[in-house]
């Protein structure tokens, strides 16, 4: 790949109107130009390097023909979004008064690269291309790649179906969830705060480098079922243009498998562990509860089985009883109970360790319906940077849903709904279900009346329950 930089002063723009043959002749023999190779431009020899792909994206975006083929390639299902320029295909543009002419040739052109330009002047132009111009091209090229790429939703496969010779740890489908922050029923100021936090994070590469911290951010989304935790994650992925890795911890056998899975995740991704409290026996508290309810015969049986295994297991078990509630305890306890379990400390070490080393931007999200069950070590600030509560539907949330589902912003029945929402705990999912048009002839009146009926019956039930209590 070559880039020819021609100087505006000597090669007026109008000349481009001339026949191609003639122009080429002029360029070659009479006009000062410099020829820069890919290596000089990017400092890289490897053709299929990141810089190479960024340049290809940039050029693809600048030629309709290439862009068309790029599209065709994507439609055909090719994995690569990048298409190399054809031999002799050219892209021209102007940068700081320098006419730049990209061309792709398999072989180095036979004609020599020479210029009649004074050496110092030539250096100045060459510097403009190899510094400012290429920086812009690489930056734009990377942004174009992000814009064009097909986003993916990954789920982890059980390790029995992993094969060494190919990447089979994750399966993916195209991620096409339509959720966005505008259609999310949540207090406006909270939505803005989450959006700003995400945007600040995604633009924070230099900041994270400066403060010496890995470029990652952890969110804990908590709230009752149907309050929009999954919807918010989809909205986050759409806002950032990230892939999603939906990590099902219950199928991960141990910490080492978890490590292998997480190492394969790519940059610009959101890793989700949903219902963290149910996915795995993570908290010291819960484990103690479990022990309390074990019958004495069950405990004896377990002890016998452990004695048969190793001496090490036995001593760990004894230590367990004396110890406090720290991470260490959690791991050793898990390991003695079963050697094929992901532990809390394992999970935390991987989050802190691997990602710190891998450099790319990553968001990790835990969701739970029971925040009170989670271990302090998991949710402390620094690990989970932001805790976001998604709650029952209030009037503000209802208005968003009414706009989404019925395309209305006001209605005489809104005040009735407001009154009912103030005394009833109902999830946005339930409100959405009542508001959804079930038949073509259903209008806003019908749907709002159905919601009112549903809210009244829910409120009556809650009243009865509290009387009984």
Ligand X SMILES: Nc1ncnc2c1ncn2[C@@H]1O[C@H](COP(=O)(O)OP(=O)(O)OP(=O)(O)O)[C@@H](O)[C@H]1O
Judged by CB under 6 A, does residue 227 bind ligand X?
yes
Closest residue by Cα to residue 451 from 385, 391, 402, 396: 402
Judged by CB under 6 A, does residue 276 bind ligand X?
no
Who's near 426: CB < 8 A, 6+ residues apart? 392, 393, 454, 455, 458
Q: Considering just the CA atoms, what is the radius of gyration of the chain in Å?
A: 30
Question: Looking only at residues 342 through 401 of this chain, which bind ligand X when binding is defined by CB under 6 A?
Answer: 369, 390
Judged by CB under 6 A, does residue 226 bind ligand X?
yes
User: Closer CB to ligand X, residue 41 or residue 432?
Assistant: 432
User: Closer CB to ligand X, residue 282 or residue 402?
Assistant: 402
Per-residue DSSP letters for 120-157? Answer: HHHHHHHHIIIIIIHHHHHHHHHHHHHHHSPPEEEEEP
Q: Report whether 256 contacts 342 (CB < 8 A).
A: no
Stretch that binds ligand X, among 192-200, 246-254, 352-360, 427-435 (CB under 6 A): 427-435
- Which of 34, 185, 261, 402 binds ligand X (CB under 6 A)? It is 185
Judged by CB under 6 A, does residue 32 bind ligand X?
no
Judged by CB under 6 A, does residue 63 bind ligand X?
no
Q: Report whether 384 contacts 366 (CB < 8 A).
A: yes
CB of residue 176 vs ligand X: minimum separation in angstroms? 14
Who's near 387: CB < 8 A, 6+ residues apart? 219, 220, 222, 371, 379
Please give the size of the binding site for ligand X, defined by CB under 6 A: 15
- Which of 3, 186, 220, 272 binds ligand X (CB under 6 A)? It is 186
Say if residue 152 is exposed, middle or buried (CB neighbours under 10 Å; 0-12, 13-18, 19+): middle
Judged by CB under 6 A, does residue 228 bind ligand X?
yes
Closest residue by Cα to residue 221 from 350, 384, 343: 384
Q: Beta-carbon neighbour count of residue 331 at 10 Å?
A: 19
Stretch that binds ligand X, among 103-111, 148-156, 168-176, 180-188 (CB under 6 A): 180-188
Name the residue with tokens 């000062």: 32
How far is it, in rounded angstroms, from Cα 40 to Cα 129? 10
User: Closer CB to ligand X, residue 34 or residue 280?
Assistant: 280
Stretch that binds ligand X, among 139-147, 295-303, 381-389, 424-432 (CB under 6 A): 424-432
Contacts of 155-161 with C-beta under 8 Å, sequence gap 24+, read: 155/245, 155/246, 155/248, 156/245, 156/246, 156/247, 156/248, 156/251, 156/252, 156/261, 157/251, 158/251, 159/252, 159/253, 159/257
CB of residue 223 vs ligand X: minimum separation in angstroms? 6
CB of residue 432 vs ligand X: minimum separation in angstroms? 5
How far is it, in rounded angstroms, from Cα 277 to Cα 280? 6
Judged by CB under 6 A, does residue 428 bind ligand X?
yes
Stretch that binds ligand X, among 357-365, 373-381, 409-417, 426-434 (CB under 6 A): 426-434
CB of residue 185 vs ligand X: minimum separation in angstroms? 3
Judged by CB under 6 A, does residue 244 bind ligand X?
no
User: Closer CB to ligand X, residue 82 or residue 198?
Assistant: 198
Stretch that binds ligand X, among 76-84, 182-190, 206-214, 279-287 (CB under 6 A): 182-190
Q: Report whether 327 contacts 345 (CB < 8 A).
A: yes
Stretch that binds ligand X, among 158-166, 196-204, 221-229, 449-457 (CB under 6 A): 221-229
CB of residue 400 vs ligand X: minimum separation in angstroms? 7
CB of residue 434 vs ligand X: minimum separation in angstroms? 11
Judged by CB under 6 A, does residue 279 bind ligand X?
no
User: Closer CB to ligand X, residue 55 or residue 236?
Assistant: 236
- Burial per residue of 167-180, b for 16 or more beta-carbon CB atoms within 10 angstroms, e otherwise: eebbeeeebeeebe
Judged by CB under 6 A, does residue 429 bind ligand X?
yes
How far is it, in rounded angstroms, from Cα 316 to Cα 335? 9
CB of residue 205 vs ligand X: minimum separation in angstroms? 30
CB of residue 369 vs ligand X: minimum separation in angstroms? 5
Q: Which residues bind ligand X (CB under 6 A)?
A: 184-186, 225-231, 369, 390, 428-429, 432
């Amino acid at each position: 790949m070559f880039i020819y930089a021609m100087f505006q002063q000597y090669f007026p723009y109008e000349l481009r109107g001339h026949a191609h043959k003639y122009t080429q002749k002029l360029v070659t023999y009479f006009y000062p130009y410099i020829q820069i190779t890919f290596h000089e431009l990017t400092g890289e020899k490897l053709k299929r390097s990141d810089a190479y792909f960024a340049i290809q994206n940039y050029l693809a975006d600048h030629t309709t023909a290439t862009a068309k083929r790029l599209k065709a390639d994507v439609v055909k299902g090719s994995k690569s979004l990048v298409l190399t320029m054809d031999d002799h295909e050219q892209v021209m543009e102007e940068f700081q008064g320098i006419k730049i002419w990209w061309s792709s040739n398999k072989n180095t052109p036979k004609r020599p690269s020479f210029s009649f330009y004074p050496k110092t002047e030539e250096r100045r132009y060459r510097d403009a291309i190899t510094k400012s111009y290429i920086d812009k091209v690489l930056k734009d090229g990377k942004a174009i790649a992000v814009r064009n790429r097909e986003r993916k939703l990954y789920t982890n496969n059980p390790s029995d179906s992993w094969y060494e010779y190919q990447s089979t740890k994750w399966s993916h489908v195209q991620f096409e969830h339509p959720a966005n922050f505008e259609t999310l029923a949540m207090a406006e100021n909270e939505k803005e705060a989450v959006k700003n936090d995400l945007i600040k994070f995604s633009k924070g590469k230099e900041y994270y480098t400066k403060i010496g911290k890995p470029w990652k951010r952890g969110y804990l989304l908590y709230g009752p079922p149907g309050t929009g935790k999954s919807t918010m994650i989809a909205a986050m992925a759409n806002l950032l243009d990230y892939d999603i890795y939906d990590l099902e911890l219950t199928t991960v056998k141990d910490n080492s498998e978890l490590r292998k899975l997480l190492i394969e995740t790519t940059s610009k991704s959101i890793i989700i562990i949903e219902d963290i409290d149910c996915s795995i026996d993570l908290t010291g508290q819960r484990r103690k509860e479990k022990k309390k309810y074990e019958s004495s015969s069950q405990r004896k049986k377990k002890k016998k089985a452990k004695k048969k295994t190793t001496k090490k297991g036995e001593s760990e078990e004894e230590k367990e009883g004396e110890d406090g509630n720290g991470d260490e305890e959690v791991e050793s306890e898990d390991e003695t109970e079963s050697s094929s379990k992901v532990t809390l400390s394992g999970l935390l070490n991987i989050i802190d360790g691997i990602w710190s080393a891998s450099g790319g931007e990553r968001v990790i999200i835990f969701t739970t319906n029971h925040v009170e069950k989670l271990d302090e070590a998991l949710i402390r600030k620094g690990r989970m940077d932001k805790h976001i509560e998604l709650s029952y539907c209030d009037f503000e949330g209802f208005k968003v849903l009414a706009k989404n589902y019925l395309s209305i912003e006001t209605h005489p029945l809104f005040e009735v709904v407001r009154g009912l929402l103030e005394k009833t705990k109902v999830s946005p999912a339930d409100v959405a279900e009542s508001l959804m048009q079930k038949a073509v002839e259903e209008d806003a009146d019908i749907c709002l009346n159905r919601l009112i009926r549903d809210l009244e019956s829910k409120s009556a039930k809650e009243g009865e329950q509290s009387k009984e209590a």
